[in-house]
Amino acid sequence: MQAATMDPSEEPPSVLWGLDPVFSAFARLYVRDILQMTESTQVPGIYFYNSHPIYKVDALGTVVYKREREDFFCYGVDDGTGVINCLCWKSNLFREEEDDPGKSGGKHSDVSPGSFNPVTELKKLREAQQKNCRLEIGELLRVRGPVKTSRHQREIMASTYYKVDDPVMAVQIAWMMEIPQLYRQCYDKPPQLQHKAESDTSSLSKATNIIKDFLKQKSVSRFRPYDVQDLLQPLVSCQPQTTSADQEPEAGPSACQQLRQLLKEALELLQDEGIIYRKVKSQDEIYHVTAQDKDLLIAVKDIIREDSKREKYAEKGCHILHILSAVRQRHSLNVSKAALELVLRSLECNSDIVSTSEHHYTVF
């Protein structure tokens, strides 16, 4: 079967795939749909069903053909909608037993009757594994793994597979009742993540830029969250969430909750970038602006000046990780590497220090 490809204009950006819970799960799709899924033009090995990115599936069906090789089995699995080839690799334990079937059959007279015999138990384990992995035509197989296209044929590369004992068809009935529900509730509904994700990303980017501009214009050295919260108010929509006619209204977060969440995410992002940091973590949230914190700049400069005199650092200067450790001991445990790098760049621009290599610094 020739693999279908998706129009690049219709394919969601790969950066958003992880937002779809189907992407991280073993999708329980009908074999017919696995065979007809369109392949991604961005990343080979990723497929789309109704715009849901999928690369691993979970299938249950009857074995209709089999081939055995030295390292693997090939089973044709039929779930009633189609037949797909499943490549099932033999485990090392399975292959060892085939290579030396009499390996575990030796007598051990030193093991008393009724006691635990690891050799015997290992033999039982191998026999049980062989029984579950070696299927015959007509038996029921459960297989999970990534989907691949090999020689224009869609197949499942099994990461887990085993024979299902289902004498009264209880497993198959439960499976046939569950799959239609998954289709109705998940697979047949296109993901609604793209516009929300783009909107959230845009709002967060705008929020961080607003706070950065405020800190720069006012030359703020420290602030509390409520000092900048009102600046983000225009970014929060006060309009109720709209839903389609066949959907019930969903209760979303209030404007106040949205504002607090946006502020929290913006402050976390600024901390990750090293632009701000909390000198002391307490109930009173005080954020220090790294570039405006004179105490931090002085502490870093003093550490480099003092430690550069030591024989260990006299030649190359102080390594950035040594400086970071010293700053955390003398100034604040909460100074991040990103914040320190920003301070080091500032001191170097002012000719207070000089870099002797990519990660070493000393004074003139």
State how far the Cα of 300 lies from the Cα of 149, in Å rounded to an integer: 56
Q: Is residue 21 part of a domain?
A: yes
Q: What is the separation, in whole angstroms, between the first and last Cα of the chain?
A: 70
Per-residue pLDDT of the chain (364 residues), as tens digits, is 444 555 555 777 787 888 888 998 999 999 999 999 999 888 888 999 988 999 999 999 999 999 998 888 999 999 999 999 999 988 765 555 555 555 544 444 455 666 778 888 877 877 777 777 788 999 999 999 999 988 889 999 999 998 999 999 999 999 999 999 999 999 998 887 655 555 556 788 888 999 999 998 888 899 999 899 888 888 876 444 444 444 444 445 678 888 888 899 999 999 999 999 999 888 888 999 999 999 999 999 999 999 988 888 888 899 999 999 999 999 999 999 999 999 999 999 888 899 888 889 998 7
pTM of the model: 0.50
Q: Is residue 245 part of a domain?
A: no
CATH of the domain at 13: 2.40.50.140
The conformational region for residue 152 under phi > 0 = left, psi -120 to 50 = alpha, else beta, is left
E-only strand ranges, the chain: 4-5, 38-39, 47-49, 52-54, 56-68, 72-78, 83-89, 140-150, 153-157, 160-164, 222-223, 276-277, 287-289, 318-319, 354-355, 360-362
Tell me the two tokens of residue 63. Answer: 């074995």
Tell me the two tokens of residue 201. Answer: 């990303």
Residue 315: which domain range? 293-362
Same domain (yes/no): 65, 112: yes
Which residues make beta-bridge pairs with 53?
Answer: 48
State how far the Cα of 264 lies from the Cα of 207, in Å rounded to an integer: 10
Q: 323 near 364, Cβ under 8 Å?
A: no
Same domain (yes/no): 76, 219: no
Structural domain ending residue among the three candidates 260, 290, 320: 290
Same domain (yes/no): 141, 203: no
Q: Is residue 172 part of a domain?
A: yes
Same domain (yes/no): 121, 235: no
Same domain (yes/no): 80, 153: yes
CATH of the domain at 213: 1.10.10.980
